A and B are shown apart, each in its own frame.
Chain A
């Protein structure tokens, strides 16, 4: 694994967005993004885990055995996830209940693991902190984009029940699901809609990126290309 590899695979916001370009850590993004409030809560939790674990790994990197490092990474992430889990349960119980099993699932976020493997493990804490910041910014951007569009379409609102984000919010403010379903276009709250909307978001991101690329021809093409190109027109030629 050369340093070039790390440079290529360090995650950014636009060209190297972990969710929209590399399609990593999708499960929380898809499942949680019903409302913007949930999305923001999830984003904060993820950022916490990313930053803490990168810091931890970059400080401990000399101590970590290379062949079993994967297990150590997982355990470090799991520790911080447990911390987030317990913290949220304590301070933000309504949101914690909404997010359900997806808070523990932060620890299986593939983007975090790759970040640890390719960035934090090879850099000192300053560098890895900066790159973790870029990764989290990209992740948050995708989460916020998807969840705001879903909330807007499903309920016609934006950041409803924002007070839940404040610590110690009362349970009574929680959104009841039946209420949400009777609103504007309830289909968007379902899982298929999440997948389809994310598909459109990815497509939009692709075309945005291609436009940016075409304006800067020197930049490297990072849009996911078609696997194969259609070849037609050759047939007209005589055999």
Chain B
């Protein structure tokens, strides 16, 4: 149990996909300003990241690796994650046509794919067992979603701040991300 907890905390905080491994940073700047949208985005990303990375892990361990087809991993992972993304989007579209009328959400998700592929490849290279790998995916997805929400809240404060003009918008957000990343580096060695 403690191993799983350790893996999850490690993936969510210490080796945060977002700010320590710098995967999927673009999605930080694409999400809209409202906390509610950030929440939707974070939830979707969480689901997609967790599911796709776990499926990819299973495919790699059970099919590609035994057959010696490791070089196909990129194509395979991309195919799985994009199909999953499209499927989830389509199913959501049926249920909530209006919220997804803003097509940008689809793009957000694909940009999150950078994190999906990254986590999948890290999984493929790691020596963790299958279940531990799933725990790692869960932690990574959790960390990713947490960062997206917290950053959206932080951005609400930055919007009203009197920031020097050239730094407004993306620049100050990158610097904030850097400061938070410094803080997360401080967690190194925790797990």
Contacts and interface: CB of A to CB of B under 8 A. Distances in A.
Contacts of B98: none
Contacts of A30: 22, 25
A200 to B, nearest CB: 7
B178 A27 contact: no
B79 A203 contact: no
A162 interface: no
Task: Point out which of B19, B82, B160 has the most chain A C-beta atoms below 10 A from its C-beta.
Answer: B82
B187 interface: no
B142 interface: no
Contacts of B26: 23-27, 110
> Which secondary structure dominates where chain B touches chain A?
helix
Question: Chain A interface: which size bin?
Answer: 35 or more
Contact of A104 (B24, B106, B111, B121): B121
B174 A82 contact: no
Contact of A27 (B77, B78, B114): B114
Contacts, number: 159
Given A101-B121, A110-B110, A71 B82 contact: yes
B125 A101 contact: yes
A227 to B, nearest CB: 5
Interface in A93-131: 101, 104-105, 107-110, 113-114
A167 interface: no
B167 to A, nearest CB: 5
Task: Point out which of A24, A108, A206, A230 has the most chain B C-beta atoms below 10 A from its C-beta.
Answer: A108
Contacts of A204: 166
B86 A110 contact: no
Interface in B24-41: 24-26, 29-30, 33
A196 B19 contact: no
Given A30-B25, A82-B71, A107 B166 contact: no
A143 to B, nearest CB: 14
Contact of A74 (B78, B165, B181): B78
A3 to B, nearest CB: 18
Contacts of A181: none
Interface string B156-191: 000110110111111111110111011001000000
A21 to B, nearest CB: 8
Given A101-B125, A203-B166, A206-B171, A70 B110 contact: yes
B72 A82 contact: yes
Interface in B91-124: 106-107, 110-111, 113-114, 116-118, 121-122
B74 interface: yes
Given A27-B24, A192-B179, A202-B174, A226 B169 contact: yes
Contacts of A108: 78, 110-111, 113-114, 116-118
A174 B148 CA distance: 36
Contact of A68 (B23, B33, B86, B167): B86
Task: Point out which of A85, A193, A224 has the most chain B C-beta atoms below 10 A from its C-beta.
Answer: A224
Contacts of B162: 230
A200 B114 contact: no
B150 interface: no
11 contacts: A71-B79, A74-B113, A79-B75, A85-B74, A107-B74, A110-B26, A191-B22, A198-B174, A199-B172, A204-B166, A227-B159
* Minimum-distance CB pairs A-B, first 8: A199-B174, A195-B178, A196-B178, A108-B114, A199-B175, A224-B169, A203-B171, A78-B78
